[in-house]
Chain A
């Protein structure tokens, strides 16, 4: 990890990583030429299928190609949405910018926004400390150690208050006893994350099989491309993005009662109390407000899809993970954590980071939520095709009893199986998705196949439409843990390795 060649390598990786995020059509399913970081067991199993798979390596499925073609116009990038917004009577003069904009541009813009914010009456509580905290840096390149918001997320774990940032070097290892293997993994993460430039490939490789809790917040932010791999730029990036988010709030949140936005806001408003209802953490006034702002701001900046039910669920893993950054969890159960124990500044950091990371996630699956939800329809079809190949008897059983894939897997796609597994399992699953590059769009399909096939025997024991569908809509996964997710993703990896490059496999056999 500290090899001399590291810098060059990681620079290269960094570039491809960013490229990857911008070049691909978000949400499209493309053939994958094998993940790089499978569990070893899966590699062995997958290699058995290697010959089979290599024959079809260059074949692209017609349906995938068609889809790719049909969506690439619709969703080039988030800018489309901002353009659209111009027609929606929003004042956006200052916000058209990309994430890669010049730093000082942003800084200037923000200072304008903050001037404006002071004179306006806004719902977001803006303490004076907030203003101070989010003041754009006066010089474009401040030293990372002086940024007051620099602590968490930049590669160190910090439980102390914001005013006392720790040096950006080491990961704090918790005192709780952990198995040796876990501990050495944690150390590896520590080294990667606190090196001058995080090797993204290395980070993905390590993360695929699960990220240790203490380093997850930082790892997620880097894997999603929210934080730069260069450690010196992290503090500044965080400050910039956080204040950018709050400038969005200043700018947009007041529009929620306008006629054209009322429906959006209303929908968000009735969904928030229905978000993970059994977890008290999500049902405190402050948390409701945070979710409302995150979802509303996201929707208004993405009018082509707007808010779609289920997005509220997608915020929860980020919120919990980023909360864990500030809570000493040895003595705290986050499920029932009282957020009043945290300062407003800390809550703001959590809110802004959750917003940006959710944005990154949704960038990759936007066609799941646009008109007619083409991404979901496509994935449901792909799932059917896949299951037909990997578990013929199960597929026939479903067909025989007139169970349609749409009837049970629509929700799997729309909510990324979050409704099917406990939240902690989703968090573990996302470690893998984030390591896969476009995991939320592509690898998810294989995870769904793997989930369905996992219950093959049980499903086939149900011998009428009603019991099959009821079973599928209420999978007995309540007690699932990371272990089961590990199995699920290993299987998914195997299917992906075998079939991703060979979607016409079946047709070829028929011929």
Chain B
């Protein structure tokens, strides 16, 4: 198997059901949202390879189901996330209010150094349909010192930007470990298979940015 990546980072998407998490993810990972109009059951998973700042990055993204009944399952995935995309639907005020709830889960279940971004999806909506102003979203994000994006999965607006921003700040946060990891890969793992690297990382993941 040819080696295709150097670093893996792990992102998670949370937000109310129907805000468009899956559509965003499919737009980002597959650049196609036509085949994805089904609700997420429990948890789903996608992977996208990117080059950021000259480093080849594999972004592993876990897409959760927004319905409350699934929370027992989805909460189990917070623990290993390095970055979380918080999504609400700008056409739905309730989903914006619920961002508080999702923040609470994050502080309860995610690692302390997890990085966040706030996303208001469906920016293709007509003005008359909009229920949450840009200012409101921005204010909330500022308060919590997290980046904010208005996106549209339909129109492919700001989707890549949002994900890449999160990937960047995750990489920054884990710079030390990533550099160490790169060095490790350079010295020892060049000839090894992907599986080997991942396995190694899984076995001694103290401080390593790649947790399997």
| Chain A interface residues (CB < 8 Å from chain B) | 267, 270-271, 273-275, 277, 305-306, 308-310, 312, 369, 371-373, 400-402, 406-407, 410-411, 414-415, 419, 463-466, 469-470, 473
Contact = CB atoms under 8 A, between A and B. Distances in A.
Contact of A419 (B1, B38, B67): B38
B43 A309 contact: no
B17 A267 contact: yes
Given A310-B39, A406-B42, A464-B198, 13 more contacts: A270-B18, A274-B38, A309-B17, A309-B40, A309-B65, A309-B69, A309-B70, A310-B41, A371-B72, A373-B73, A400-B199, A419-B38, A464-B195
B75 to A, nearest CB: 11
A277 B36 CA distance: 9
B2 to A, nearest CB: 13
Nearest to B22: A274
Contacts of B38: 274-275, 277, 419
Contact of B193 (A273, A274, A415, A463): A463
Nearest to B203: A402
B60 interface: yes
B42 A411 contact: yes
Nearest to A372: B72
B69 A373 contact: yes
B204 to A, nearest CB: 14
Of B42, B43, B47, B72, the most chain A CB neighbours within 10 A belong to B42
Contacts of B202: 402
Given A372-B72, A373-B72, A469 B45 contact: yes
B155 interface: no
Contacts of B73: 373, 406, 410
Contacts of A371: 69, 72
B156 interface: no
A285 B206 CA distance: 55
A407 B41 contact: no
A273 B20 CA distance: 13
Given A273-B37, A373-B72, A466 B60 contact: yes
Nearest to A269: B18
Nearest to A409: B42
Contacts of B60: 466
Given A267-B67, A402-B212, A465-B212, A274 B37 contact: yes
B154 to A, nearest CB: 14
A466 B43 contact: no
Contact of B41 (A419, A465, A466): A419
Interface in B23-59: 37-47, 58
B212 A407 contact: no
Contacts of A271: 39
23 contacts: A267-B18, A270-B18, A274-B38, A274-B39, A309-B17, A309-B69, A371-B69, A371-B72, A372-B72, A400-B199, A401-B199, A406-B73, A406-B76, A407-B43, A410-B41, A411-B41, A414-B41, A419-B38, A463-B1, A464-B193, A465-B212, A466-B58, A473-B44
Nearest to B1: A463
B124 interface: no
B177 interface: no
Interface in B165-212: 193-195, 198-199, 202, 212
A372 to B, nearest CB: 4
A407 B39 CA distance: 16
A271 B66 CA distance: 12
10 closest Cβ pairs, A-B complex: A410-B42, A270-B18, A277-B37, A464-B195, A411-B41, A463-B195, A372-B72, A309-B39, A464-B194, A308-B69
A369 B69 contact: yes
B45 A473 contact: yes
A270 B17 contact: yes
B45 to A, nearest CB: 6
A337 B194 CA distance: 48
B12 to A, nearest CB: 13
A465 B198 contact: yes
A115 to B, nearest CB: 37
A138 B17 CA distance: 48
A414 B47 CA distance: 24
A470 B49 CA distance: 14
A310 B69 CA distance: 11
